[in-house]
Structure 1
Amino acid sequence: MNKSLKIVFFGTPDFAVHILQAILEQKFEVSAVVSAPDKSAGRGRKIHTPAVAKFAKAHNLALLQPEKLKSKEFLKALEEFQADVFVVVAFRKLPRAVWQMPKKGTFNLHASLLPDYRGAAPINWAIINGEKTTGVTTFFIDENIDTGQIILQKKCAISPDETAGELHDKLMELGAETTVETLQLVSKNGVNPAQQSKPKLNKDAPKLFKENTKIQWQDSLESVFNFVRGLNPYPTAWTYFKNENEKKYVKIIKVQIQHTPHSHKIGDLFIENAKLGVGHRNGIVWVEELQMEGKKQLKAQDFINGFGDLTSWRVD
Structure 2
Amino acid sequence: MGEEKRTRRALVTGGAGFIGYHLAKRLLTDGWIVVSVDGMTPYYDLALKRCRIEMLQKSNAFTAHEVMLEDMTALTDAYVAAQPDVVVHLAAQAGVRYSLENPRAYVDANLIGSFNVLELVRNHSPAHFLLASTSSVYGANTILPFGEMDQTDHAMTLYAATKKATEVMSHSYAHLWKIPTTAFRFFTVYGPWGRPDMALFKFVKAMLADQPIDVYGQGDMQRDFTYIDDLIESIVRLIDCPPVAGAPIGSIDSLSPVAPHRVVNIGGGHPVDLLGFIKVIEQSLGRRAKLNMLPMQPGDVRATSASAELIEKLIGYKPSTSVETGVQAFVDWYRSYHTS
TM-score, normalised to structure 2, is 0.40
The structure whose residues are more often strand, as a share, is 1
Q: Which has the larger radius of gyration?
A: 1
TM-score, normalised to structure 1, is 0.42
Determine which structure has greater relative contact order: mean sequence separation of CA pairs < 8 Å that are 6+ residues apart, divided by chain length.
2
The structure whose residues are more often helix, as a share, is 2
